[in-house]
A = this chain, B = another copy of it.
Amino acid sequence: MEGAPAGTVAGEGITAEELRLAARNHGLPLEALRHEITPPGLHYLLIHYDIPAVDAATFVLEVGGAVEQPLTLSLDDLRARERVAEPLTFECAGNGRALLEPRPVSQPWLTEAVGTAEWGGTLLRPLLEEARPSADAVELLFSALDRGVEGGVQQTYERALPIAEAERALLAYEMNGQPLLPQHGFPLRVVVPGWYGMTNVKWLTRITVLEEPFTGYQNAVGYRMYKADGTPGEPVTRMLPRSLMVPPGVPEFMTRERHVEPGPVTLVGRAWSGYGSIERVEVSTDDGATFDAAGLDPPLGPHAWRGWRFDWDAPPGKHVISSRATDGAGNTQPLEPPWNLKGYANNAVERIQVVAGS
């Protein structure tokens, strides 16, 4: 712990507490990047407290706070409204955390906290208009049914969003054409295109229109980028660009080092950003020294990952291979991890160990 900031560790193995989280939450096994839409059970999961047991028959969503017409809607009421569906890529804000040094102690993600589903439901905006929000409304607060203790405070999971962003949200009751699974928010969650996953509040039961910014835990304390303890920090918002590849060849059980035959190898992967479409993906086969352009697949949707392909002639020997994404807003992945106290938004370029030949 030699001088590492509070809440972080330097040069140490994963703690028992981090392991407890890693045993519950899970990432996308990277070979599942082969699927354009992530199959059930392979999408990443990050659950702060416990998965609540919710009775769909008695479930209601309330819309209240600074509105003229509070609303109470059953699941049937929501299903009776216009249905829309869209493929959306979600990524946990903590993705990449366990690759930081010193390492912030929380869910210890490597790079795999991602997934893409077709989320189906009804748009929030027309529903909000029916509630007639106050002209002074600044944020919407999304409150859930899961409860726990965090930062010493017993709380339900709830997060607020600026009203202009919240108006783009979907109230989702379906994932890939099926009712939500318990772990993905059954029966209802909010999904917000382009933002990190903490925004997509699961087990949603209340939307509150606020005339002052929310000061609760998940906005004011958690999910902020702090350069150092005691500073106010900046809120975590949209996903920075990232590309990941289907690891080529076959893995070694423990190390996950990849084994390929020397010669032609087609590398494939997917890239995404919350700041706009993916405009460029490059591949390095020399540990980031040089990069060459990959071919891009047609877009899957404006807020979903984009496939890419790159032909590599693997020479015998050991290699570190990487892919790097650039989005339409000009953001490019860094080679070195950007550090902050809670370990958010580390979108440093992946590094995959490959052995060609024996």
- List the one stretch of A21-29, A187-195, A331-339, A341-349 in contact with chain B: A21-29
Copy total for this chain: 2
Is A319 an interface position by the 8 A CB rule?
no
Contact A247 B50 (CB under 8 A): yes
Is A66 an interface position by the 8 A CB rule?
no
Is A259 an interface position by the 8 A CB rule?
yes
Is A272 an interface position by the 8 A CB rule?
no
By size class, the interface of chain A is: 35 or more
Contact A154 B49 (CB under 8 A): no
CB distance from A152 to the nearest CB of B (A): 9
Instruction: Given A29-B47, A259-B154, decide whether A250 and B147 contact each other with a Cβ distance below 8 A.
Output: yes
- List the one stretch of A7-15, A135-143, A163-171, A294-302 in contact with chain B: A7-15
- Which A177-219 residues have a C-beta within 8 angstroms of B? 181-184
CB distance from A307 to the nearest CB of B (A): 15
- Which A241-264 residues have a C-beta within 8 angstroms of B? 247, 250-256, 259
Is A17 an interface position by the 8 A CB rule?
yes
Contact B50 A251 (CB under 8 A): yes
Among the interface residues A19, A45, A98, A253, which one has the most CB atoms of the partner chain B within 10 A? A253
Instruction: Given A14-B14, A17-B255, A50-B29, decide whether A23 and B109 contact each other with a Cβ distance below 8 A.
Output: yes
- When distances are taken between beta carbons in the complex, the residues of chain B under 8 Å from A36 are none
Contact B149 A250 (CB under 8 A): yes
Is A62 an interface position by the 8 A CB rule?
no
- Chain B residue with minimal CB distance to A149? B252
Query: What per-residue 1/0 map shows which CB atoms of A94-109 lie under 8 Å from chain B?
Result: 0000100000011011
CB distance from A185 to the nearest CB of B (A): 12
List residues of A whose CB falls within 8 A of some B CB: 12-15, 17-27, 29, 31-32, 34-35, 39-43, 45, 47-51, 53, 98, 105-106, 108-110, 112, 147-150, 154, 181-184, 247, 250-256, 259
19 A-B contact pairs sorted by A residue (CB < 8 Å): A13-B15, A20-B254, A21-B254, A22-B23, A23-B27, A23-B109, A25-B26, A26-B26, A29-B47, A31-B51, A32-B182, A39-B181, A39-B183, A41-B43, A41-B183, A49-B251, A50-B251, A105-B254, A148-B251
